[in-house]
Every structure is written in structure tokens, then in C-alpha cells.
A and B are shown apart, each in its own frame.
Chain A
């Protein structure tokens, strides 16, 4: 059995901080190998070393028996390493065809790019991967986020990689798109590639990866065949401790209606929608990706214009701006924490207090520094960010901690309605458990929570009730006693339940 990819004793420090402390990873050609670990465990750094973005302090990487020169992107590319990042690396202003064949454009005899052949080759490439529906002449920026992610995969597969890294490439995708990406991963493996799969979804990992390596604190702590480990063992491996509960018990029962929307519409594609959220209730929003969930949450949070009427505690609520929404007690945790949620170059404390400046200002306009510090500290404790991190620049935090800071900012505004847009995406299992515990605590205190997640099992376990959206409308609701992944999916894809199921 040949070990196609061998990583041995890899070490890497950023200044005095050692992020990789002896990582070993052995993966075979033809296998999907899962790389697991919490945010901050060193997965991203390992991938950066592998793809040549950064060098290493010690250790070796061999690919098919040949030692890889580290720290040179060109060396890694030449050796056949291709990475699909969660963050998009395509150029939105260029067309689909130009992006797909970037750096490999077909030329005319005069040395100019042949647009006709470029488009033809791109169409052929897409057809090979079953994506002929995508128009290659459109600017990439006009495509849906999911499609753009799929194109990243096609781009990586273009030259038959020897190592294909899927770095949380499915975290933002709907289940069908995820399935497509994983199917391409399998095909690449069948063609003899090593596929490294990085995911926070254990079920996805179980279904697709034959073997796995778990990183914790920059070291490889577990490795072997997937079937040899239970989920509990993996979680202990990742966290270094046992996770007591992922989904907490809820005590309170929902109270009276707090937020009532009727005839809510955004643009001419979304709505009209009717929706009610009660005090102390966690209302899930389900459905396939891009069915108007984003617009619904943005509209309720005042972040995009909408029509229709919304009442809050029985009085009219005009969500004309995020400012108005926050003043009325409606806080939104937006979809993209890096672009919509955080001032990445500012400190944790400044990020937490920015949405609540009014309450922290003395008469006369100056901030009450002591009060602001106390508020930031209290909020950090509530969301579980170490208080000695208050002065840290947010960009230096792991993804999980960044998400907690966004939550802290929203909660400091003391909302009575909390809108959560996929707040567990790309977040490790330990942080997820913390976030779910927080949601339960808030609901038990009477906060109405609207929770959208691309992960079905989260919807089932976190929510009291799930409203399912399709094509901009709410197509149905699944009540607590019937809340299963199948029930949500059926509504999402428009399958009516059979009679026996209705009876049951």
C-alpha cells in the first residue's frame, strides 16, 4: 500500500506562537481522508503549508515518494496540490469562462486570448462535471454563492490534482450542492488522488471519508480508519475533553406572540410571508439554500427594504434600518461574520460595544469608559470569550471566537428578538455547543429567537418549530412533535407527505 501523501513531524511557528507542534498525516492515493479539529487546532496552517502559502519550521512533506519544497506555492502547484477554500478565490468581475480557465487561456496564433475557444472549453469543462446549466458568459459575481463554490471545485479539478484539499468547501452549501462536491471528491480519489476533507460535520465525514486524522492544539492526536472511532471518541479527540451535551434541554415554554409579520415582501421575488414568533421561542427557518431566508432575516433586522406589516409586542414595527431595529429590540447576527459582522482590525471590546454606544454614553457625548469596559467584559463572559482577549484584534481570533464576538455585540444591545443567520457555519463542535446553550438560555429568559441554519440536524435539535421556505415563500411549518430532518426536507423539496405519515 503506497502512502501517497506523507506529512512527518511538521512544525510551524508564527513568532513565539507555535501553531503546528509535530503533525503527522499519512494518506493513501484513492482515499478521502478527513482532517478534523476545532477552530484553531492548526488545520488551516497545515493546509497553508501543504499548498505552499507558508513555509514550515521543521518536518517534511512527501508526495508520491518525492519530497515537496515547502513555502513555494509554485512548487506545490507543480506537485499537483489543489485547494478549494471556503473563502472564494475567484474574480467576480470576470466571466465564468475567464475564471475557469484563468492562467490557461487558449490563445490565437497572434498571442491574444481566443474568446470563442475560451467559451467552448469552459462549456466542455462544465458539461464534464454536470454543470452545463451555468452560463459561461455571465460575470461570476452574478451567480449564486453556491454555484460560485461549485466552480471553485471545477477549477481545482481542471488539471487532475494529485492532492485535492476541500477546506470546509461544503460548509456554506445546500445538501444537494454538498453532495455534488463530495461526489467530485470521490471521483478524484477514484482517479488516484488523495482527497483531504476538512469539515465540521461529523455525519458528512462518516459518510465519505475512509480514514481520518484529528488535530488538537497543533498536534495530530488520532488517526486511523473512520469506522474504528465513535463520534464520542472523535469529539474527545478534538476537544481534549468530553462534550457533555451538544444540544441542551430547554425548560421554558413559549409565551405569547412577540413578532408578527404579515404580507412581508422583499423585492418581487420574496414573499408575501406571514410569520409569528413567540416570546421564549426558537423558531427555525429551513429550506434549501437561497430560498429567501437571507432576505427574510435582513428585512426583519431592518437591513434591507421590505413591504408589508410587522408588529412587535402588538405595536407597529417599522424596520427601516438596522439602527431602528436595534432601537426596537431586534438584533441581527448576519450571515457573513467577516464582511458583515466584524471590524476585523479592531479589538474585541470595541466590536462588542459598537452597537450599544448610546447606552454607554454619558450626558455630554463622551463614552463612559468604565461602563463600556464592564459591559464588554460581562458580554464576553456570557458568550464565552476569554476576558483576557478583550484587547485582541478580532482578526487574530479563531472563527469560533469571532462568531462569539458577533453574538456578544448583538446581545449587548439587549434584544427581545434575536435573528441568527447561519451562526454556526464553519464553527467547531465545542463552540457550537456553547452557542446552542446560549440560545437555550436566551429563549428561557423570554427572548424570541429566529434561527436559520444550513444544517438540518441543528434545526431539529435547537428549534421549537421550523418554518420551511421555498422560492421566497413559507411553504409549511413543522411543529415540535413532528420535527425531523425528513419532515423539513420534504417541505423544502415540495414532496407532500403520504397518508400514512400524516396519520402517524
Chain B
């Protein structure tokens, strides 16, 4: 069922387009930007945002917002170090951390779906609780040795020229893309985000959809924290801080509606790439710190405007052309 693609694909395309344009500008400015090493680096950094924003995409599509993402990322790294420090095998610890992240996300879902707390408040409060828990662990500022080898391998291994993280990201993106566009579960997510009362009256268990979305967000943020910690080689409480903005901006730059009901994960992928390319290229232009932040903000706003209004514009044009009016006369080639 590709019905939702219509104008969403325009948004996704415009986000990929913006990313390509930025990449081109950076490459023209300094040719090293397109080197294999740099592109690999960009893909890995994008994957961090991509995983942080994976569940966020589904939450936003269902009409919510998850502000606990950065704290779940910190949880992912720190809890992993903690358990690995206790002698748990790395692979098992990673799996358990992701499951624990899902459980924390589920609590977010309970607050939003059952207690009807506003998502912003519920997830912010949960971020605070997770932070408090991490402080109580007393394993902060763990050195590199604290992060298990499995996480480091996940973040830095390559298959041929391609980083494993990027490959895993690609596979997950294809999977989520299919689930959102072609499964009943995906259709329910869009329905809940578009209008939860209509969804309820159409026989959809709105609460269950919300629970699942927040649980997924908890799991994907925890996993993003694991690979980020593996890459950095150590963990600290604020490790996820930049991803509060990035996880939401990637979704919106990718063309999803912040009100829910419209968007795709491929859009988020494009958004994550755009954000990464942008923050990697700006230092090349020798801007002041302040100037850099201004340009960063302005380009992101432009990207959001492009993906949001561009899609709506095309949808309007399509809507017009789908009305029963004579199509514009086609130019016929003259027979020789």
C-alpha cells in the first residue's frame, strides 16, 4: 500500500536533494570531503542520528513526541558499561540494554496512552528519572575499558569499504519502511496520528499503537546510545544531549508532520544525512562559532520549509489535476 507516498515522496526527495546539494557544495569547496574515509565517517555519524530518530519517527507519526531520547541514549551506554563491568558478555548486555530501553519507553507509552499525560511532559519527566537512575549507578566517567568490545566492534567494524553500522542501518530502514508503508500496523500508526478519535471509532486500539511506538523509541534510542558509546569509547551523562534536537529535526526535515499522520522513515534517513553533512561541512568555511550556529539553524529551517511546503504544494497540484477536467493537450510528435 503505497498510498501515503504521494506527496510524502516529494518531501523525502527534497530532503535527499538538500543533502546532495550540501554535499556537492562541500566537495567543491574542499575535495577531500568526498574521500572514502570522510564519507564513511559521515555515514557512521548519520547512523547515530538515524537510530536515535527511528522510534522518534514512529512516535511523531502517531501524533506524539519523545523528549527522553537523549537520556535513553546515555542509559544505553552507561548501563552497558555497568553490566559489562559486572562481567556480563557484551552481546548479551547489548540485547538486555535494548530491551530495558523498550521497557522504559513502554512506561512513557503508559503515561501518554493510559494516564493521558501530555507527551512532552511525560517524556521529559522520564528523562529526568533516567538521569537520576544513571547518577545513582555511580559508574560515570568510565574509561574506554568500560565499554565492552562488542559495542566498539559494532561501531567501528567494516565489511569491505562499508561500515557495519551503516549496513545495519540500511537493513533496519528497509524493514521499518516496509512495516510503515505496507503493514496493517503501519496503517494504524498513520491513522492514530491523523485523528485518534476517528481511529478509535474505526476499531483501532489507539492505546496499543501508542505503547508500541514509545517502546520502539526507547529501544532504538538505547541502541543508538550503545553504538555511540562504542564509537566514542567511553560514556558520560551528557553523551546524548545533541540528539534531543537532532532526533526531532531529522524527522521534520524528512517531511513528517509534527502533528502526526504524515511522513516516512526514509524521510528521516534523508534528514539524518542532511544534518550530519551540514555539521561536518560548516567548519570548513572558517566561520566564527556564532556564525556557524546561525548558518546551521538557518539551513535546517530552510530544509524544514522545503520538505513541509514542497510536499503540500505538489499535493495541491495533484489534487487539482485529479479533478474531472480535460487534461492539458499533449504535444504530439509529427509523423515523418
B262: chain A residues at CB < 8 Å are: 345
User: Chain B: which residue is nearest A349 at the CB level?
Assistant: B3
B195 contacts A343, C-beta separation under 8 Å? yes
Given A16-B321, A16-B325, A367-B187, residue A323 in contact with residue B204 (CB < 8 A) = yes
Given A345-B194, A367-B184, A369-B182, residue A354 in contact with residue B202 (CB < 8 A) = yes
A365 contacts B185, C-beta separation under 8 Å? yes
A325: chain B residues at CB < 8 Å are: 203
Interface residues of B in 182-237 (CB under 8 A from A): 182-185, 187-188, 190-191, 194-195, 197-205
A357 contacts B320, C-beta separation under 8 Å? no
A350 to B322, CA, bound (A): 17
Q: How far is the CB of A33 from chain B (nearest CB, A)?
A: 30
Chosen A-B contacts, 30 in total, with CB atoms closer than 8 Å, are A15-B323, A16-B320, A16-B323, A16-B325, A17-B323, A17-B325, A18-B325, A301-B201, A321-B200, A321-B203, A322-B202, A326-B203, A332-B201, A340-B197, A340-B201, A343-B261, A345-B261, A345-B262, A346-B3, A346-B194, A346-B261, A350-B187, A355-B202, A367-B1, A367-B184, A369-B1, A372-B1, A392-B319, A393-B319, A396-B323
A357: chain B residues at CB < 8 Å are: 184, 187-188
B200 contacts A322, C-beta separation under 8 Å? yes
Contact partner of B191 (CB less than 8 A), chosen from A332, A349, A354, A393, is A354
B205 contacts A323, C-beta separation under 8 Å? yes
A372 to B190, CA, bound (A): 17
A391 at the interface (CB under 8 A from B): yes
Which residue numbers of A lie inside 8 Å of B, CB to CB? 14-18, 301, 303, 321-323, 325-327, 332, 334, 339-347, 349-350, 353-355, 357-358, 360-361, 365-367, 369, 372, 391-393, 396, 409, 413
Q: How far is the CB of A187 from chain B (nearest CB, A)?
A: 38
A243 to B264, CA, bound (A): 46
A349 to B1, CA, bound (A): 10
B167 at the interface (CB under 8 A from A): no
* A-B contact number at CB 8 A: 102
B315 at the interface (CB under 8 A from A): yes
Q: How far is the CB of A234 from chain B (nearest CB, A)?
A: 25
B28 at the interface (CB under 8 A from A): no
Q: How far is the CB of A403 from chain B (nearest CB, A)?
A: 14
A299 to B220, CA, bound (A): 39
B135 at the interface (CB under 8 A from A): no
Question: Which 8 A-B pairs rank lowest in CB-CB distance, beginning with the nearest?
Answer: A15-B320, A357-B184, A326-B203, A323-B203, A355-B202, A343-B194, A17-B323, A16-B325
A303 contacts B187, C-beta separation under 8 Å? no
Given A323-B204, A343-B194, residue A361 in contact with residue B325 (CB < 8 A) = no
Contact partner of A391 (CB less than 8 A), chosen from B199, B201, B202, B322, is B322
B197: chain A residues at CB < 8 Å are: 339-340
A369 to B186, CA, bound (A): 13
Contact partner of B183 (CB less than 8 A), chosen from A341, A366, A409, is A366
Q: How far is the CB of B107 from chain A (nearest CB, A)?
A: 23
Given A17-B323, A369-B1, residue A361 in contact with residue B194 (CB < 8 A) = no
A275 to B323, CA, bound (A): 45
A366 contacts B198, C-beta separation under 8 Å? no
A339 contacts B198, C-beta separation under 8 Å? yes
A14 contacts B320, C-beta separation under 8 Å? yes
B200 contacts A303, C-beta separation under 8 Å? yes
